[in-house]
Structures are given as C-alpha cells and as structure tokens.
C-alpha cells in the first residue's frame, strides 16, 4: 500500500439516520477514514450505545462539537444537524480549511431572505453562503468539484428535481402547471420520538402533511427557476407512507408541444442524464418502485405521456437516506476530491 | 318481534375480499338474512374453508351460480364478480324481480361503447343497462332509491368523486386542470395470488401502476362530465401502497376564482354534503389519514387552497373495502329498501 | 322504549389506546351511555383534539380526575391508567358505590407483596384489593358477576392463560415445563412517543424484550397456580412484532400422558370452553392467525401434539386491544350487570 | 492487476430470492465473475425481465440448464432450486470438476433415509452425497475448505444451530428440553404467488406453520446430534412474521448446571465463536433485533439465564436471505477457494 493515506473525515450529528448512514457508507469507502463523531445530546456515549448492532464495527466515541478541534483532526466534515445549527459551525470549519458537506437546509439557498422566510432563522454568515454550492451532482457537477462547502439537497427535492430538471432545462413544459405529488417512508421524519411516527399510528395508514407549505418547496423552486431562467412556482405535496425507506415523486406537467410521445421523453431524459451514473431511465412502459432503489445511491425515473390530456407524468424513485441524504453527500465528496463519482457507494439495491 | 321478517339476501362471488366484507357486514345488518353464497371456482366448499376464522359464524356452503334458483331464494343479490361476468347473470335476476347490487364495472356506464373500449367486453344487455343507476349515494340518492339494479362504483372512483364532485357541480375549477393522484392499499388487487402483491415484493415499497390508462378513469370522467354538464377529461394516477386497506385521493385543480380561500372551500363542501351522514369534512388545517376511515363506511375530506398557485387541493380518505366497495353497496341497498342510509354499517373506524 | 335508561359510564385515562377502544366500543353498546372522559395531562382538551377522526362522534371534553364528581355522575367507571395510579382512585369510587373496571395491574394480584416486588409500588388499599376479582371471564365468570371491582388482565396474560388454563386445571402437563413464547403488535406499548416503537425502527424487524423479567410473568403464574392448586413457575418471553394489533402466544409443555393425541386435546379444550362464546377452538390441523381476531373480542386456539417429543403446543390469538384489553373489560361489565356476555362486543374480525 | 483472473461462476435457479441475492453479492465479490444464469421456467428471458431494477447492471440471459455446458463455462456453480432438483444436476457438475454449492435440502443430509422420509424423494446419488459437507462454516470450516460439494443450510437451521451449537457441543443442557421457537419474514416462502403470502393476507398478522412437522427439523437434529454425540430430538416451531426479511430464533433449554449465570454463557459463547467473524455475541442484557442483521452476513446472538426456572434462553438473529441463504453460500465458497471468509460479503446491515 506504500504511502497510501486515507483522508480523515468527521461527522457532526452522528446519532440520527443521516449520521448512521454516513457512518456505514464512509466505513466502506476506500479513500477515507472516519476519525471523529460529534453530537451535543449524545456526547460522551459511544456510537455503539446508540446503535448496538454497530458496536463491533465502530469504536469511536461521540465527542463534543468544538470546531477548532474538529478542523484540526479532519480534512472533511459532514454536518448532519437540524436546520439552523450548521450555520453556526460551518463558517469556522471552512475558514480552517475543511471541506464541508452540510446535510441541513442551511447552505441550500443562494438567497438568504428565502431561507429566513421559510426557516425562521436570521443569518450572519453571508460570505460562507456565497461560496456554497447546491449539492445535486447531476446538475452542478463542475461547481461541486470546485466547492469547499456544499449544501446537500433535501430528500424530497432530490427526487423532485431529478424528475423536473430536463423539463425545465429544455423548456418542455408550461412552467406553472408543474405539480409534485411526493410520497416518503417515515424515516424521513428522523429518529425522533413523535407520536405520529409510531408504528401503531403510521402503519397501515397514509397521510399528506404540510400541504402547500412544506419547507422543501422553495428549494425545489430555486433550482427550477435557475434551470428555467425565470421565476417558477411549484405545487408540492408530501405524503407519509407506511414504510421505512424510499421516496417516490410523481410529477405532472402540461407539455408545450402536444405532439411529444413517451419515447421522445425517454430519449430526452436519457440524453440529459447521459453522464450520470446514478440515474437510470426506465424502459418504455416500466414505472419505478421505491424498493428498487433501497440501499443504493440510484434514482430510477419512469416516463409517461398522456395524449388525452397533453401532460407528461414523470415518476422518480430514490432511497431517501442514500441518494436523498448520506449517499448524495458522499457523491459530492467524491467530486470535491477528484475521485470517481461512484466511489464507495452502493450500486445495487437490497431487493426484496 | 311479531311478524318481523328479515329480507333474504344472497352474494354471488363470495370468496374474494368484496365477498368476505359483504358477509361480515350483512351478518351484522338488522334487516337482512344472508341465505345464499355463490361462486364458480369454490362451489362445493363451505365458507369456512375459505375463511376459517368465520367458520363458527357462517355455516353456509358456497353453491353454484344458477340465476333462477338464486332469484327464487333471494330478494336482494350482490354480485361480487370479476368485470365482465355480472352482465351474464344480472339481467335474469332483474327480470325475476330481484334487487341487484353489482360491485363490478358492468353496470357503471351509461354509455356501453365506453365500457367496451376500456373493458374489451361486448354487451347485449342494453335494456338492463338502461335501468341501472350509478351507486354513489352522495350524488344519486334519489335515483338509487328507485332503482332495481345499481352499478356500485369502484374504490378509486368513490374516493376521487367524493373529492371532485363539489368542484365540478359548482363550477369552481378550470375543468381540464383536474388531476387525481390516488394511493391504495394492496387489498384493492383482490385475493388473487400475484407476485407483485406478495408481502415480500409490495411491503416497504411504493409504485404507480396503469399510469394514464387505469380502467377507473372513464368512470370518474363520466360522473364529472355529468356534474359539469360537458365532457371532462381527468388525469388519474393510482399507486400501490404497502398497507392492507385504505385509499387516499389527492386532487389538484386550478380555481376559477383565485380569491377563494380554504375556509370558503370548507363551507362549500360542508354545505354540499350537508345531508350525507358518511361524509366528514375536516376542520381547517386538518388532513385526513386513511386509517381514520378503516373499518367504517366514512369518507374524510380535507381541503387546502394554495394562494401562491391558485390551486385547490382536496384529500379524501376511505376504506377501499367498505365505502369503496361492500359498505357502499349496503348503503345503496338501504336506500333501495327505504331504510335509513346508515343502517347496519360501521360508523367508527377501528383505530389504531 | 318506555322507561329505558342507559347506564352512565365514565372512563379515566381516555387518551391512550385502551381509552380510544373503550370509547368506540362503549358508544356502540346498547345499554350504556358514555358521560365522562377523564385524564390528567389532556384535561381541558376535547376528545376530538386527541383523535380527530372521532370528533364528529364524541363531543365529550377530557375532564380532570375528581373521584367524588365521577362517582356522582357514573355508575360504572373504567380506569385506563398507567400501573400504580388506579389504586389511588379506585377505593374512593368503590366506596361511593361505583362498579370499577381497572385495566392496569393494580387490582390483578391477590398477594400485594407480589405486586410490590414486580411493580415497585407500596400499597395501602388492602381492603379494596381483597374484594377485587381477576377479570378473566372464562375462568372466573361467577365471581366477576358478583364483584364491584375487577382487575382486568393484561394482554399477554389473556392470550397465555386462555392457552394454559385447561392444561393446568386438568393436570395434563408437567407443570415446570410450561413455556410461553408470546408475540405482540406494537400497540401493546401504548400511544407513547418512544424511539423503539417508531415505524422506522420497529417495522421490518422483530425483537424479544424483558426476557425472564416481564411484569406479566407473575400474573400468569398467579392464575396458573390457582388452577393447579400449587405454586407454578412459568417461562414467559414476549416479542415485539412489526404490526399494529394482535398477540399470538405459543405455549409448550410436556404432557403427563404421552398417549394423548391432538384430537384428544381438541376435545378437552372444546369441553373446557363449552360455555365461552368468545373462545373458538380451531379444527384439527388449523393454526390461528392473529388477523383472524383483529377487531373482535374472540380468542382462537389451535392445538398440536408432538409424539416425537411428548409435548403439547397450544397457540392462541387475540386482538391485544379488544380481548386483551378494552373488549374484555366490557365483557366483565356485561357479567357484572347481568347482561349477556357478548352484548355490544364485535363478534367478527375485520379481515383482511 | 497483471494476470489477475476472476473465477467464472454460474447460478442455476437465478429467478428466485436466493438467485437475486446471489447475483447481487457475486457481482460485488472481487474474485469472481458471474458468467452464467440458468433456469427452466424463465429460460430465454433476460435477468432484467425478472428484476427490472437490475437490468442496467446484469446483462446476462437466463439460459437452459445443461450440466455439461455449465461445467464447461463455470468453475463454481450455485444451485438455487426447489428441493429435489439439485440432486439431478449436481453429480454431473461434480464429476466434471466444478465446485458446487447447493442451496436446497438435497445435500444437507448424511443419512439419505432421513432425507427421503421428510422430502419424499428417492435418491440414487449416494456417492455424491457421501462427499458433500454441511455448509455451516462456524461448525465445519475445515471440512468445507476441502469439499467439492457443499449442502448449504436452510435459513431456519442456520439461526437455530448458531444458537444451539455451544449448548450441545459443551454439554451444557438437558438435551431433550431444547425448544426452538423461530420467526421469519415472508421472503422465506420464496418469490412464488401464494395467497397466504400476499401483503393483504400476511401483513398485520402472525401465524405459526408446519407445527411439529417442518422439514427443517431433521436438519437441526442431525447437526445437534453430531455435536452432542448422541441422537437428539428438537422441538421446532416456525412462525410467519409480517416483514420481508429476517429470522429470529428463540431457543429454550434447561441447564445441567443451575449455577451458571448469564455472563458465564456470554463467556462460553464468545469463546466458542472466537474465530468466527460473522458471529456477534451481544453484551449482557442486550437482545438482538432482526433488523440489525438485515443486509449483512452477520448473526447476532443474545443470551439470558432465568434463575427461577433454570433455563437458558438464546436469541439469534440473521438475515434469512444472506446468512440464511446466499451470503452463507458465498462464505462457504470463500473457504473452498482459500480466500478470506469475509471476502465480498456485506459487513454492516442497512439499518434502519
């Protein structure tokens, strides 16, 4: 192995589902070494106290979150914290030279006024925000490769934007007709004890939530607007599904050209994602199942055109915790480090 | 009880989920007596062979399907057969004087050409079709009360139409903008051994099916057209959800009057369904969960208006096997017999 | 109906799953009227705040728990509180003349030392305890009929004891060989926000808990000892199953007489439960499924004998929230009031 | 990599769950190349027809099963066929020099009379059977390393035997007291369309099956007898659990020495499995959850001693499709090829 050296990596906020996915994926990544786990409420515990099944594999303690110390030990830091906390830590890490991948909403918005409107947090880290890149590699690969700080997309926006992007980028649809009806497993809600996420409540049931006002809406709109070249408003409705993992976004929009057929759309999407190893466009007549993506960093996209209504229907399926969270962050890291975009990431789902 | 006499009732096609729900509900109905169970493939078995847990309560055999014999023994007959079979039996039963409630698609269409286009079955029972009434009591209560044969709606159309009807009837929306994104538990697929409905396949997964071409589409369109007074085309997309029971329909449409707010819609829906004991309009800001309806004949409807997009979002939740199938058929029977519309039907779900 | 009067009934602790089942069942009971709902933490809210889907049907507020006031308004009081609280309220209610049905552990033990050892609560209500009857009607029907206060069994003990009782009562087994391997849906854990009961944690998983030390152990042993006429020790292991409702107890024991065969056991059990309308003994070779019982007050019991090992295997299935909790309490009430044991209780499960 | 050459590997019976796991795991194995997929009923299809989500990754067709051709192309062959079929193909493959890993029951039994009694198949391949080794590496590592044909254990026996082996090998228990109460997800039933495995039937339910007569019983007994040095009879009861993957075996047995405590057992098990990288003994007071193992080749074992009853309770959790099937077969292959036992196998579960 000669003078091979693994890149030292840390995770702040290791106790949640984002954290445990990062731990698992980073331990199997050939170029990095996990050297630091941090958390406020769980500081002092071992990681095995939180996830006993990993006790044999991860013998790192959860440490307190001291940015200088973290920057001293880590070249790369993943921030997996609730919205509104990363912005307190990231500027210091960036200043100290760390590469930072933030999984929260804090660095997803180029316009901080939008962030403050939807998240209710005032910000004073304008200069850091100005250098942050939105971490959706399929759209911003080159900018991510040169970024020092990346704001990784939310799970719903990832599924939604991968379905919507070719439509907006190519100007294929009437913009104001775009509707995203999204469905997610309950792990989207995190590892927090809430009554509505109990198995006894959420199993064998299905419910919409935050209708017309989910915080992922402005994030989707920001990117669609960027692609369209003008302001775009999106109808976004999330639903809680009685399953652990997986998101399906069903997207509806009216085509500008009513003559386009399904196979045209498949050709367009295939071309759009030609260089994207994690995007799989389904064959004609095949629709994605969330289970296909579970455990992998893949996004499956199915397409349909309804000649009766003139609409395109795009269906995209991801694992909300991998491509929708931890896997995508590592995909960004790969780009930032100049590694292959697929390095260390699971390529096949764990079906069934 | 003096000369109290229960009405003799039969079920053709008692072996499926529609059948077992009918059996359970009819056994608890105070005015009827279940006297006949019929089925082709299961003839000769006892009902307890198919559903051992009911062996102690139902000691009827499954008999062959002979319309004359059935008409001789039953005043009311429920047909719970695959599409395309009821039309062979119903005309005889009607002719012999039975009241008939068909749970298949055969008597849902006033225009047989539409039926034949979508179901691929030629029909020769025009006169029977001409007298059949679409069995959605909230819309056609009076006609059902006078009908001898009722074509009970499908599960998806029930949820969809209860959400859509006030919009079309009152002319509140731009008709061509109506989209129904529907989600159903796998019991919708019936008690048939199919690989895609296995727990190992369908659990922890989510998938759309029959996109742009589900057979329930023309049924929804027929009724919406009737309400609107002109031809209406609906975008309808069903999804299979990893749960046993329940349907949620999420309906999107653009309001004609962008000044309407959520509470206006709640007022309108409450008025529209004022005399409908099975419809519950949710309070402002409350969205229905399918579990609320499970086990009952109720339909919960939640409303939201998005001032940013000018759309109304209507969410309706039912138990696909009760209000979406067997319960609704019994609700129709109650009307046909002049009984109270709620008689013998479960009023409270079995939460959690 | 002449001077028909419904019996006024109250529930203390109406916010949990026991409470919501009681509310639903009591509302459908023909002889009672629900007049009071009480709770400490939820006092001041309406029941519809806790369970929005029942808002249209239950317009009672949650009131504070004042025993004198409750006794003034109710003839019958159900106590659905955490262990250790009922004993503070029940003595006053009893003294004031109410009939009391306690769903907690407080009045299940004739020997308070056992209670205090396992529950860690000192007791000062010896005289009330002395009059309490263990509320398993299949064993103590006559005593329940004459009781003023009943300690209703836990869900695990109900399933376990209905499987074990004929074996101990008839002396069929070697007592110290009895093992109960029990499996329960997560609603057994109540409507409390706990991480291990989240859908994301508990779904697609299975785990034992409180092995060798579950609090239901001494309760099972107390009744088995009573039936056997000597002290009996039971091995009891509960498991959490990824489902909402239902308990299956799989019981193993070595037969004293190795010549007994399966049909002998079926005969013995059928005779033992001859007068028990809620117990259904499965046919030879049929094993119960928990789903059969869901939504009903039934207990299904299947039997097997292994001639290779000399063991009997008894499998009993109940709905943990009905026969294992609220339904059984109402069954006891029916006996206490001299009504039919099945009055107002669901006789058929809501399969599938 | 110079003259690095991957070992050509084939799978007969690639269409089922065993097959798809093998495909996924072998594609990620660094030393092998998947060159052949065979199947009778699916011959002529592509693998992507059966599993569309893998179409992009696996472009092998399903071919007919011709042993000579297979032996010509493959050095190693996995047989993933229904019981009773492998014995028709394996002898030819062995004779032609292939290493064979059979996932069915055909080569698990040293005594063919036992096999024929339980499986109803007469056998004529005695010489092949004589050389076959039971593929449980934790017990027979050295013999597997030298075998040409391995009969891989069933999923239930794997979980059961890993829990039972130290007890029998060390003579710690009274042999005839051993009881295995096992619980498995429905993928154990394979990818076959059966009504009882439908989500609508199996979800939210729990049921025992094949009580006293499951075919995995003699397999467990054979190995326990081998370890004990005398004939042993085991009580084995499997249950179907509403989840996709995972098995938990709860084992009960009476200790010979009532003075042993929990920590003694933990010490004994830890020592017994000292050289077994896939076995993890839980800390004192920790019990395994099946989800911990899902997606990995790990087996988690928890231990408890009940001083009241003198019994040990052992709980073992595996992924039925990995350590219980495909993963274990590859673990055996690693040994047969002289590779590290953990090569190419998933070391961390995909929690949650």
* Closest partner CB to C53 (pick from B53, B204, B351): B351
Residue linked to tokens 């597997």: D144
Per-residue pLDDT 10s for chain D (352 aa) are: 455 899 999 999 999 999 999 999 999 999 999 999 999 889 999 999 999 999 999 999 999 999 999 999 999 999 999 999 999 999 999 999 999 999 999 999 999 999 999 999 999 999 999 999 999 999 999 999 999 999 999 999 999 999 999 999 999 999 999 999 999 999 999 999 999 999 999 999 999 999 999 999 999 999 999 999 999 999 999 999 999 999 999 999 999 998 999 999 999 999 999 999 999 999 999 999 999 999 999 999 999 999 999 999 999 999 999 999 999 999 999 999 999 999 999 999 999 9
List pLDDT tens digits, range C182-237.
Answer: 999 999 999 999 999 999 999 999 999 999 999 999 999 999 999 999 999 999 99
Q: Give the minimum alpha-carbon distance from B95 to chain D in angstroms, rounded to a whole number.
A: 37
Per annotation, catalytic residue among B74, B98, B152, B155: B155
Residues of D in contact with B187 (CB under 8 A): 200
Residue A4 has what pLDDT? 80
Torsion angles phi and psi, residue A238, rounded to 5 = -90, 150
Note whether B203 contacts C: Cβ–Cβ < 8 A. Answer: yes
Q: Are strands B32-38 and D76-79 parallel, antiparallel or unpaired?
A: unpaired
From the list C187, C203, C244, the residue facing A244 with the nearest CB is C203
Residue-level pLDDT at D1: 44
Q: Which residue of B has its CA nearest to D321?
A: B200
A 109-168 residues inside an 8 A Cβ radius of C? none
DSSP readout, A101-154? EE-SSTTS-S-HHHHHHHH------HHHHHH-EE--HHHHHHHHHH-SEEEPPP
Cβ of D197 within 8 Å of Cβ of B198? The answer is: yes
- Distance, in angstroms, between C81 CA and closest chain D CA? 26
Question: In chain D, which residues have their Cβ closer than 8 Å to the Cβ of B53?
Answer: none
Query: For residue D33, what are the CA distances in angstroms to A40, A43, A344, B85?
Result: 46, 45, 20, 52
Closest Cα of chain D to A212: distance in Å?
Answer: 29
Average pLDDT of span B48-52: 95
Contact between B250 and A243 using a beta-carbon 8 Å cutoff? no
Give A-chain residues touching B225 at CB under 8 angstroms.
none
Q: What percent of chain C has pLDDT over 90?
A: 97
Size of interface B-D (CB pairs under 8 A): 64
Q: pLDDT band at B4, cuts 50/70/90?
A: confident
Q: Which residues of D touch A30 (CB under 8 A)?
A: none
Distances (CA, A) of C304 to B30, C24, C308: 39, 36, 12
Quote the pLDDT of residue B3: 58
Selected residues 226-245 of chain A with any CB under 8 Å from a CB in chain C: 242-244
Q: Tell me: the pLDDT tens digits for C317-340?
A: 999 999 999 999 999 999 999 999
The partner residue sitting opposite A53, judged by closest CB among D17, D24, D300, is: D300
Contacting partners of chain B (3+ CB pairs under 8 A): A, C, D
Which domains are assigned to chain B? 7-131 (3.40.50.720), 156-320 (3.30.360.10)
Identify the pLDDT of residue C10: 98
The alpha-carbon gap from A255 to the nearest alpha carbon of chain D, in Å, equals: 28
* C118, C188, C206, C251: best to mutate for the D interface, most D CBs within 10 A: C206
Q: Does residue C81 have a pLDDT over 50?
A: yes
Which of D195, D198, D204, D290 best probes binding to B when mutated, by most B CB atoms within 10 angstroms?
Answer: D198
Residue window 269-288, chain A: list those with CB within 8 Å of chain C. Answer: none
Residue B48, chain A, CB below 8 Å: the answer is no
pLDDT bucket at B123, cuts 50 / 70 / 90: very high
Q: Does C313 touch chain D (CB under 8 A)?
A: yes
Chain A residues with CB-CB distance to D300 below 8 A: 53
Catalytic positions of C, please? Answer: 155
**CB-CB contact of B60 with B33 (8 Å):** no
For the range D38-43, what are the long-range contacts, defined as Cβ-Cβ under 8 Å and sequence gap of 24 or more?
Answer: D38/D10, D38/D11, D38/D12, D38/D13, D38/D14, D38/D62, D38/D63, D38/D64, D38/D65, D38/D70, D39/D12, D39/D13, D39/D14, D39/D15, D39/D63, D39/D65, D40/D64, D40/D65, D41/D15, D42/D14, D42/D15
Q: Is A22 on the interface with D (CB under 8 A)?
A: no
- For testing the chain C interface, which of A21, A198, A247 should be mutated: the one with the most C CBs within 10 Å? A198
User: Is A51–D27 a contact, with Cβ atoms under 8 angstroms apart?
Assistant: no
A290 contacts in chain B (CB < 8 Å): 204-207
Query: Do residues A252 and B179 lie in contact, with contact meaning Cβ atoms separated by under 8 Å?
Result: yes
Contacts of A31 (CB under 8 A, 6+ apart): A6, A7, A337, A339, A343, A344
ipTM above 0.85, yes or no: yes
Sheet harboring B311-318: ordered strands across? Answer: B207-208, B235-241, B179-185, B247-254, B311-318, B299-306, B279-281
Buried b (16+ CB within 10 A) or exposed e, C251-261: bbbbbeeeebe
From CA C304, how far away is CA D209, in angstroms rounded? Answer: 11
Q: If pLDDT is split at 50, 70 and 90, which confidence band does B31 have?
A: very high
CB contact under 8 A, C291 and D252: no
Distance from CA of D292 to the nearest CA of A (A): 6
B203 interfacial to chain A (CB closer than 8 Å): yes
Reported as a pLDDT band with limits 50, 70 and 90, residue A335 is: very high
Query: Which site among A195, A197, A199, A247 would you substitute to test the C interface, given the most C Cβ atoms closer than 10 Å to its Cβ?
Result: A199
The mean pLDDT value for B131-145 works out to 98
Nearest-angstrom CA–CA distance, C26 and C344: 8
pLDDT of residue C1: 44
> Which of these, A240, A238, A221, lies nearest to A164 by C-alpha position?
A221
B204/A294 Cβ within 8 A: yes
Half-sphere exposure of D233 (CA within 13 A, CB side): 9
Min Cα separation B245/chain D (Å): 8
- Give residue D3's pLDDT: 58
- What letter would DSSP give residue D46? B
Q: How far apart are the first and last CA of chain C?
A: 37
Searching chain C, which residue's CA lies closest to the CA of residue B54? C348
> Does D198 sit within 8 Å of B203, measured CB to CB?
no
Q: Please state, as a whole number, how many other Cβ atoms lie within 10 Å of the Cβ of residue A161.
A: 27
Per-residue pLDDT reduced to its tens digit, A45-95: 999 999 999 999 999 999 999 999 999 999 999 999 999 999 999 999 999
The Cα of D159 is separated from the nearest Cα of chain C by a number of Å equal to 14
Q: What is the pLDDT of residue D4?
A: 81
D128-132 LR contacts (CB < 8 Å, sep 24+): D128/D87, D128/D90, D128/D91, D128/D94, D131/D94, D132/D102, D132/D107
> Are D200 and C245 inside 8 Å of each other by CB?
no
Q: Is the pLDDT of residue C274 over 70?
A: yes
Check the CA dihedral B283-B288-B289-B293 and report its sign: positive
**Residue of chain A nearest C198, judged by CA positions:** A198
Residue bearing tokens 């009076």: B142
Q: How big is chain B, counted in residues?
A: 352
- The answer on pLDDT for C344 being more than 90 is yes
What is the rounded average pLDDT for all residues in chain A?
96
Residues of A in contact with D55 (CB under 8 A): 283
Would you tell me which residues 242-261 of chain D have a C-beta closer than 8 angstroms to some C-beta of chain B? 242-244
Partner B contacted by C347 (CB < 8 A): yes
Answer yes or no: is pLDDT of B228 > 60: yes
**Minimal Cβ distance to A205: which of B246, B306, B309:** B246
Whether B47 has its CB under 8 Å from any CB of chain C: the answer is no
Min Cα separation C334/chain A (Å): 29
Q: What is the pLDDT of residues B319-352, one digit of tens each?
A: 999 999 999 999 999 999 999 999 999 999 999 9
CA angle C40, C14, C21 (to 5 degrees): 165
B155 is an active site residue = yes
- Strand A235-241, strand A299-306: pairing: unpaired
Q: Which residues of A touch D297 (CB under 8 A)?
A: none
A1, pLDDT greater than 70: no
Structure confidence at residue B1 (pLDDT)? 44
Residue in D74, D98, D155, D224 annotated catalytic: D155
Per residue in A222-252, pLDDT (tens digit) is 999 999 999 999 999 999 999 999 999 999 9
Chain A environment of B304 (Cβ under 8 Å): 211-212
Chain D contact set for A187 (CB, 8 A): 352
**Exposed, middle or buried by CB within 10 Å (0-12, 13-18, 19+), for B114?**
middle
User: Which among A52, A54, A348 has the least Cβ separation from residue D348?
Assistant: A54
- Residue D221's nearest CA partner among D124, D335, D115, D144 is D115
């Amino acid at each position: 192995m000669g003078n091979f050296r693994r890149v030292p990596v840390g995770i702040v906020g290791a106790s949640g589902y984002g954290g445990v996915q990062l731990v698992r994926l980073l331990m199997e990544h050939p170029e990095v070494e996990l050297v630091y786990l941090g958390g406020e409420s769980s500081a002092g515990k071992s990681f095995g106290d939180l996830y006993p099944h990993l006790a044999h594999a991860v013998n790192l303690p959860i440490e307190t979150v001291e940015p200088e110390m973290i920057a001293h030990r880590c070249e790369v830091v993943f921030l997996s914290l609730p919205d509104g906390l990363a912005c307190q830590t990231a500027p210091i890490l960036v200043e100290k030279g760390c590469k930072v991948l933030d999984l929260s909403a804090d660095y997803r918005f180029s316009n901080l006024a939008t962030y403050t409107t939807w998240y209710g947090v005032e910000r004073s880290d304008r200069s850091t925000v100005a250098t942050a890149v939105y971490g959706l590699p399929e759209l911003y690969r080159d900018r991510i490769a040169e970024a020092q700080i990346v704001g990784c997309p939310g799970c719903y926006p990832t599924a939604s934007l991968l379905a919507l992007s070719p439509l907006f980028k190519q100007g294929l649809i009437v913009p104001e007709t775009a509707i995203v009806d999204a469905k997610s497993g309950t792990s989207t809600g995190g590892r927090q004890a809430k009554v509505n996420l109990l198995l006894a409540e959420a199993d064998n049931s299905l419910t919409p939530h935050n209708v017309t006002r989910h915080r992922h809406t402005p994030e989707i709109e920001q990117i669609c607007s960027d692609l369209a070249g003008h302001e775009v408003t999106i109808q976004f409705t999330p639903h809680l599904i009685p399953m652990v993992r997986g998101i399906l976004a069903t997207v509806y929009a009216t085509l500008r050209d009513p003559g386009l057929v399904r196979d045209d759309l498949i050709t367009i999407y295939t071309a759009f994602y030609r260089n994207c190893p994690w995007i799989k466009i389904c064959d004609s007549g095949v629709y994605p199942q969330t289970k296909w993506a579970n455990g992998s960093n893949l996004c499956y996209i199915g397409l349909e055109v309804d000649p009766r209504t003139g609409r395109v229907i795009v269906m995209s399926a991801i694992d909300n915790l991998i491509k929708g969270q931890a896997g995508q962050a590592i995909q960004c890291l790969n780009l930032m480090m100049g590694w292959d975009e697929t390095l260390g990431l699971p390529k096949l789902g764990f079906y069934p």
